[in-house]
């Protein structure tokens, strides 16, 4: 069955081989990224039991974007974008592998997550402007608007699918598995970038003047800001995005909601305090008020969650976990 001309027109960006490779790899990678976001929020609450640390982690992840975003734009205009994207994706994959190993070994601490979030923010500060400006090189000016629309659909689709899969994975397999899938998802986009043909990129071979000093970088930034300020349509788009991103864009807030059961002494115990390993192993004692003891307990719980039993009486229900992970404030 052939597609109608209207549908074909809406998918014309897929006529470009490089964009098809980019779209497939990016779709898989974004699903892993959203799974990582859910797992990271769950992990922070598991380690600290304090929602304030969620804000600290998010701030650490976006602070480098705020500080280095303009300078990253200069880098995006001065260096081959495909090679930059490969470098940023490899960096983010390495960070995901580090988190996975720390979680699965039970060595993860909250300060490690803060440092990793800062490193991830630096990688994103370079990745975001490069990836957004790479579209015109893949499809050209004629199909750029269509590619932007497809990218938006891909992003929002991954935003729905990724957290749902992440919640199910955390509830059935363990939190470390979500970080492992995130690390593996970067392979798809890296392979796609490596398979692209340089000769098919639009604007390939155009000489680009690279700043050779800090003063040259500042001059480039000043030229970009002047262009935005003196071009009404660009200024309107920039202000609109800035306002929406500041006051209207929501950040997902995850809360650990787990069913409760009666312990032998009659006290109510949450599911997060039940043993998650084999029956012959006793859970860590979490009743201590010592910060060090609570930290050891959290790390042990994270480590055991990788191999916890599949019994429904020893783990939160999948539906409960998914609904809590997807709840937004």
Coil, strand, or helix at residue 220?
Answer: helix
What gap in Å lies between CA 126 and CA 131, rounded to an integer?
Answer: 9
Q: Which domains does the chain have, with CATH numbers?
A: 14-200 (1.20.1250.20)
Residue 113 near residue 250, CB atoms below 8 Å: no
pLDDT at position 204 is 52
pLDDT at position 317 is 41
Task: Name, in order, each residue with C-beta under 8 angstroms of 210's C-beta and a sequence gap of 6 or more.
Answer: 78, 79
pLDDT at position 5 is 67
Closest CA to 212 of 326, 57, 52, 78: 78
Give pLDDT tens digits along the chain (329 positions). 566 666 667 788 888 899 999 999 999 999 999 999 999 999 998 899 888 998 899 889 888 888 887 777 777 777 888 999 999 999 999 999 999 999 999 899 999 999 999 999 999 999 988 888 888 889 888 888 898 899 989 999 999 999 999 999 999 998 999 999 999 999 999 999 999 988 888 765 454 566 666 677 777 778 878 888 888 888 888 888 878 877 766 655 554 554 444 444 444 333 333 333 344 444 444 444 444 444 444 444 444 444 343 343 333 443 343 344 444 44
pLDDT at position 210 is 64
Tokens 């970067």 -> residue: 186
Residue 129 near residue 229, CB atoms below 8 Å: no
Radius of gyration, alpha carbons of the chain: 23
**Its pTM surpasses 0.75:** no
pLDDT at position 73 is 75
pLDDT at position 53 is 92
Task: Name, in order, each residue with C-beta under 8 angstroms of 91's C-beta and a sequence gap of 6 or more.
Answer: 119, 123
Tokens 């769950």 -> residue: 42
């Amino acid at each position: 069955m052939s597609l109608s001309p209207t549908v074909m027109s809406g998918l014309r960006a897929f006529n470009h081989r490089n964009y098809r490779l980019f779209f497939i790899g990016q779709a898989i990678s974004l699903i892993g990224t959203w799974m990582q976001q859910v797992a990271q929020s769950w992990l922070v609450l598991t380690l600290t039991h304090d929602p304030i640390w969620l804000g600290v982690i998010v701030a650490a992840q976006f602070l480098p974007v705020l500080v280095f975003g303009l300078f990253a734009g200069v880098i995006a205009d001065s260096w081959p974008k495909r090679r930059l994207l490969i470098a940023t994706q490899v960096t983010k994959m390495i960070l995901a592998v580090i988190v996975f190993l720390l979680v699965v070994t039970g060595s993860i601490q909250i300060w490690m997550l803060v440092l990793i979030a800062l490193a991830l923010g630096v990688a994103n500060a370079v990745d975001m402007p490069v990836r957004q400006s790479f579209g015109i090189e893949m499809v050209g000016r004629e199909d750029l608007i269509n590619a932007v629309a497809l990218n938006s659909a891909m992003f929002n689709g991954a935003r729905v699918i990724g957290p749902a899969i992440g919640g199910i994975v955390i509830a059935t397999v363990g939190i470390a598995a979500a970080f492992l899938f995130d690390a593996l998802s970067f392979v798809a986009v890296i392979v796609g970038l490596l398979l692209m043909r340089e000769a098919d990129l639009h604007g390939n071979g155009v000489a680009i003047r690279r700043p050779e000093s800090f003063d040259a970088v500042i001059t480039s930034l000043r030229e970009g800001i002047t262009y935005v300020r003196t071009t009404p349509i660009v200024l309107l788009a920039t202000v609109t995005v800035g306002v929406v991103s500041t006051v209207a864009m929501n950040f997902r807030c995850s809360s650990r909601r787990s069913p409760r059961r009666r312990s032998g002494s009659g006290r109510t115990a949450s599911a997060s305090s039940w043993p998650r390993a084999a029956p012959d192993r006793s859970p860590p004692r979490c009743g201590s008020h010592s910060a060090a003891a609570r930290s050891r307990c959290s790390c042990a719980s994270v480590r055991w969650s990788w191999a916890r039993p599949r019994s429904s009486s020893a783990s939160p229900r999948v539906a409960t976990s998914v609904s809590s992970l997807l709840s937004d404030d």
